[in-house]
Homo-oligomer: A and B are copies of this chain.
Amino acid sequence: MTHEAGIPLGIRFKLLSDTPQDSAAQVVSDVVIGDYRDLDTLREFARGCDVITFDHEHVPTEHLRALEADGIPVRPGPDALVHAQDKGVMRAKLDAIGVPCPRHRIVSDPQDVAAFAAEGEGFPVVLKTVRGGYDGKGVWVVDSVEEAADPFKAGVPVLAEEKVDYVRELAANVVRSPHGQAVAYPVVESQQVNGVCDTVVAPAPDLDEALALEASEMALNIAKELGVVGHLAVELFQTRDGRILVNELAMRPHNSGHWSMDGAVTSQFANHVRAVLDLPLGDPRPRAKWTVMVNVLGGDFPDMYSAYLHCMARDPQLKIHMYGKDVKPGRKVGHVNTYGDDLDDVLERARHAAGYLRGTITE
Q: What are 13 A-B pairs at a CB distance below 8 A?
A: A3-B7, A4-B4, A4-B8, A8-B320, A10-B324, A10-B334, A12-B26, A265-B316, A266-B316, A279-B308, A282-B317, A283-B316, A287-B287
Task: Contact check, B309 vs A279: say whether CB atoms are below 8 A apart.
Answer: yes
Task: Contact check, B283 vs A322: say whether CB atoms are below 8 A apart.
Answer: no
Segment with Cβ contacts to B, from A27-35, A38-46, A108-116, A119-127: A27-35
Nearest Cβ in chain B — how far from A17, in angstroms? 11
Task: Contact check, B29 vs A12: say whether CB atoms are below 8 A apart.
Answer: no
Chain A contact surface mostly: loop
Task: Contact check, B313 vs A280: say whether CB atoms are below 8 A apart.
Answer: yes
Which chain B residues border A318 with CB–CB below 8 Å? 282
A281 within 8 A of B: yes
A319 within 8 A of B: yes
Task: Please tell me which one of the listed residues B3, B279, B312 contacts residue A280 in the complex, with CB atoms under 8 A apart.
Answer: B312
Task: Contact check, B322 vs A309: say whether CB atoms are below 8 A apart.
Answer: no
A9 within 8 A of B: yes
Which chain B residues border A29 with CB–CB below 8 Å? 25-29, 31
Contact with B along A90-113 (1 / 0, CB 8 A): 000000000000000000000000
Task: Please tell me which one of the listed residues B1, B26, B274, B319 contacts residue A312 in the complex, with CB atoms under 8 A apart.
Answer: B274
Question: Which of A's residues lie within 8 Å of B, judged by CB?
Answer: 1, 3-4, 7-10, 12, 25-29, 31, 261, 265-266, 274, 279-283, 287, 308-309, 312-313, 316-324, 334
Task: Contact check, B280 vs A319: say whether CB atoms are below 8 A apart.
Answer: no
Which chain B residues border A281 with CB–CB below 8 Å? 316
Which chain B residues border A287 with CB–CB below 8 Å? 287
CA distance A1 to B10 in the complex (A): 11
Task: Contact check, B27 vs A312: say whether CB atoms are below 8 A apart.
Answer: no
Which chain B residues border A27 with CB–CB below 8 Å? 3, 7, 12, 28-29
Closest residue on chain B to residue A29 by CB atoms: B29
Which chain B residues border A266 with CB–CB below 8 Å? 316
Task: Contact check, A316 vs B8: say whether CB atoms are below 8 A apart.
Answer: no
Which chain B residues border A28 with CB–CB below 8 Å? 27, 29
Task: Contact check, B282 vs A316: say whether CB atoms are below 8 A apart.
Answer: yes
CA distance A31 to B30 in the complex (A): 11
CA distance A316 to B182 in the complex (A): 12
CA distance A308 to B312 in the complex (A): 37
Task: Please tell me which one of the listed residues B283, B313, B321 contacts residue A8 in the complex, with CB atoms under 8 A apart.
Answer: B321
CA distance A321 to B7 in the complex (A): 8
CA distance A183 to B102 in the complex (A): 53
CA distance A345 to B358 in the complex (A): 44
Task: Contact check, A8 vs B282: say whether CB atoms are below 8 A apart.
Answer: no
Which chain B residues border A31 with CB–CB below 8 Å? 29
CA distance A312 to B273 in the complex (A): 13
Task: Contact check, A312 vs B282: say whether CB atoms are below 8 A apart.
Answer: yes
Which chain B residues border A261 with CB–CB below 8 Å? 8
Task: Contact check, A316 vs B280: say whether CB atoms are below 8 A apart.
Answer: yes
Which chain B residues border A26 with CB–CB below 8 Å? 12, 29
Given contacts A4-B8, A29-B29, A280-B316, 19 further A-B contacts (CB under 8 A): A3-B7, A3-B27, A8-B320, A8-B321, A8-B322, A10-B320, A10-B324, A12-B26, A26-B29, A265-B316, A265-B317, A274-B312, A279-B309, A280-B309, A280-B312, A282-B316, A282-B318, A283-B316, A287-B287
